[in-house]
Amino acid sequence: MNKKLMGTVGLPVGLLFVTAVLSGQKSPQCQPVMPSPGQVSCEIAMDCEGLPHVLCEGEWECATGVCLFQCDGEIPDPAGDQCWENGDCPYGLFCALPDGCATGDECVEPGGCESYPGYGACKGDVDCPKGYHCDPCGCPEGAQCFACIPNCLPNMDCSFDDDCPNGQACEVTDDCGPPPGCKPGDVCPPVCWPYGFCVEQGPPPCKKTGCSGQLCAAVDIMTTCEWLPHYSCFQEFGICGNNGPGGGCAWELSDDLVQCLADSGG
């Protein structure tokens, strides 16, 4: 029974072989398996010794011509300030892995817990300077952040100037905005509370002040109410604005004002 079956199956195979030879075609040849990118070829396991491998105890094998590391157990726990991932580090630190390691599974040695350059770790808003808040996962603009680390970031919205960093002022856009403490994405009932955005603070608005209008300042200034001849120059030719150093308030020293002050002895 078996011989008959083999003969029956072998006949077409023989015919195919003869046909292939007669037609000039070559029979298929065995080709060596090429290693995939990132793999190292080998003949025996010893060819693989010294190569980087996953973080576990084990040994190398030469399987189908490429190096393969077989783990005998789990990745060991880090010791001291060593780490395999960010969760192994204390609050406010991240796991800095050795050069060339994207994840712990690709490293031979553990990394160390470090503070991210430029980060000011915080636990609450009270740890941050004026106009900043503590973001639990703050990444400064333009930085390459590898971990979710609390960091002080500048406020974007505000109700008063004190809510903004130094050099910025609160530009109120709505007198009835969300209440203080309402975070982006929260559904908060509107209340009559000033709401706006922190913007770069420009030069202060200036105005004539003093009892006789002889001063140029950003705020009202009380003076004695005497009259001197050169005060008339400020009334006639004085232009009050941001004409002082750094954009401070001062009179514009026009030719007419300078000449008038000279003539009046001011």
pLDDT in tens, 36-64: 444 678 889 888 887 776 666 778 888 88
pLDDT tier for residue 31 given thresholds of 50, 70 and 90: very low
Lowest-confidence range among 14-23, 101-110, 211-220? 14-23
Q: pTM above the 0.85 mark? A: no
Residue 66 has pLDDT above 50, yes or no: yes
Q: Hey, what are 219's tokens? A: 């705020």
pLDDT tens digits along 124-154: 888 888 999 888 776 666 555 555 667 788 8
pLDDT for position 210:
92
Which H or E run contains 251?
A: strand 250-251
pLDDT for position 206:
92
H helix and E strand count, the chain:
3, 14
Q: Hey, what are 166's tokens? A: 């130094």
List the domain boundaries for the chain: 117-154, 156-202, 207-264
**Residue found under tokens 């010294």:** 50
What percentage of residues in the chain have a pLDDT greater than 70?
Answer: 67
Residue 88 has pLDDT above 70, yes or no: yes
pLDDT mean over 174-185:
74
What whole-number distance in Å separates Cα of residue 238 and Cα of residue 241? 10
Report which residue type is found at 209.
Answer: T
Q: Hey, what are 54's tokens? A: 């996953």
What whole-number distance in Å separates Cα of residue 155 and Cα of residue 171? 13
Give the CA diameter of the chain: 137
What whole-number distance in Å separates Cα of residue 27 and Cα of residue 152? 72
pLDDT for position 30:
39
Q: Which are the contacts of 122, defined by CB distance < 8 A and separation ≥ 6?
A: 128, 134, 150, 151, 152
